[in-house]
Every structure is written in structure tokens, then in C-alpha cells.
Amino acid sequence: MKITFYGHSCFGIEYNGVRLLFDPFITPNELAKDIDINTLRPDFILVSHGHSDHVADVETISRASNATIVAAYEIASYYGAKGLNYHPMNIGGSWDFGKFRVKATNAVHSSVLPDGTYAGNPMGFIISGGPQTFYYSGDTALTMDMQLIGQKNKIDVAFLCIGDNFTMGIEDAVSAAGLVRCDTIVGMHFDTFPFITINHERAQKAFAEAGKQLILPSIGTTFEL
């Protein structure tokens, strides 16, 4: 799969012939100022929860691309009421979109939309159906529920929050990688704000010591996994 990092927790992923976009927070992100959201034409936008650093550009990009918004029922129907395409889900459920399958996983965090609208529960996603299966954690604490993800799936790549303070930090992300039984980790939710600035060297060392590869991509770069 071909992955482009748009900053914070936002990734564009070409998966089995479909363009997926996760948690678009680009225009308010000073670090991502070189990304032009008008060039993004995803087929689906997956939204882990309602916080502004995950939904800021959902409406604009969905309107321009007709992308279907896949999110918790409360978030999906919020955008549906604005005339956008949506597919509502909830934790524990899965759906076959044809070229890919989504399972909504538990995330231990909070969730509300920027205008105060109740956003249901935060979630992560397991994407399967293509040659690889990957896990996108969303914003979450380390939780024993991740053990089930590792038991029931062969996770080839895991996108894990790593910035601490609001989510897992480095050590907990290493533990999460162990629970989901994945050796190839893409870090997210780091360095965007002072509260989540991480020491890259320390992070790389912690994952290497656990026998795992950590990728901390630069914004705007595309790579293949």
C-alpha cells in the first residue's frame, strides 16, 4: 500500500485500488502548510473521532471529492445532515466496502465535534480485504483490548499514536505494537503541538529494542509498505 503523510494523524493510503484518507487536519496545521487540500481526491474519509485535530478538513475535502465519510454514527450523520456521503458505524462492527473491509475498534479517549455536537465514542479501524491488513489506532490509551486485535488479525502495519499527553506515548506505543503483534509501526499524533513533541531518537531506540521498526514520516512524504 502507498502511504502519504499529511501531518498529525492524517494519512492518504492507496489500498487495493481505493484512496482512503484518515483524520484530515491539514489547513489549521502550520507544519502542513505546503499541502494543498484541493489536490486530495479520496474515495473514503475515515474519521476516528470528533476532535478538531481530526476533522478540520473533513467537510471541505468530502464536498470536493464526493468521498464517503466513514465514522461513528453520530459523526457520520452530522456530516450526512450537511449533504455529504456517509457510512455510520460503531465499535465492534465491520462492513465490507467491496475493495476493503473496515472493522471499528475500541479507542480509550473522548470525542465531541468542534461545535459541541455529541460525537459518540472514539474508535480505531482495522482495514483488511487487500494484500495487507492494517490497524489505525485513532487517539487512544494503551488498552488490553488491543490484545484481541492481535489475536484475531494478522496486522501487517499499525498506525499508532505516540505523542503522549493526550494519547499513548512512546513506551505505551511499544506495548501496543506487542499486543497487536505487529513489527512495522507508523507513528502519528506527534510533534504537531508542544504537548506532543517527542524525542525521535528515543522513540526509534525504544522500538528497535523491542525488535520493531518505527517509521516517523516527514509531512508530505509518500512511501510504500
- Interface pick for Ni ion out of 8, 19, 51, 103 (rule CB under 5 A): 51
Nearest to 211 by CA among 171, 183, 181: 183
Hey, what's the cell of 223? Answer: 512511501
User: CB of 186: closest distance to Mn ion in angstroms?
Assistant: 16
CB of 66 to Mn ion, least distance (A): 26
C-beta closer to Mn ion: residue 43 or 139: 139
Q: How far is the CB of 60 from Ni ion (least distance, A)?
A: 20
Size of the site for Ni ion (CB under 5 A): 2
Return the residue nearest Ni ion (CB atom). 51
For Mn ion, the binding residue among 57, 139, 164, 172 (CB under 5 A) is 139
Q: What is the dihedral angle through the alpha carbons of 27, 14, 48, 187, rounded to the nearest 10 degrees?
A: -80
Binding mask 4-43 for Mn ion (x = CB under 5 A): ----------------------------------------
57 binds Mn ion (CB under 5 A): no
Q: How far is the CB of 213 from Ni ion (least distance, A)?
A: 26
Options 32, 50, 53, 185; binder of Mn ion; rule CB under 5 A: 53
Output b/e per residue, 74-97; b: 16+ Cβ within 10 A.
Answer: bbbebbeeeebbbbbbebeeeeeb
Among 43, 57, 139, 172, binds Ni ion (CB under 5 A): 139
Report the amino acid identity of residue 144. M
Q: What number of chain residues touch Mn ion (CB under 5 A)?
A: 3
Q: How far is CA 28 from CA 70, 117, 119, 178, 199, in A?
A: 22, 20, 21, 33, 23
Taking CB under 5 A as the binding criterion, the range among 48-56, 57-65, 190-198, 208-216 that sits at the site for Ni ion is: 48-56
Q: Which stretch binds Ni ion (CB under 5 A): 24-32, 60-68, 132-140, 155-163?
A: 132-140
Residues at the interface with Ni ion (CB under 5 A): 51, 139
Residues at the interface with Mn ion (CB under 5 A): 51, 53, 139
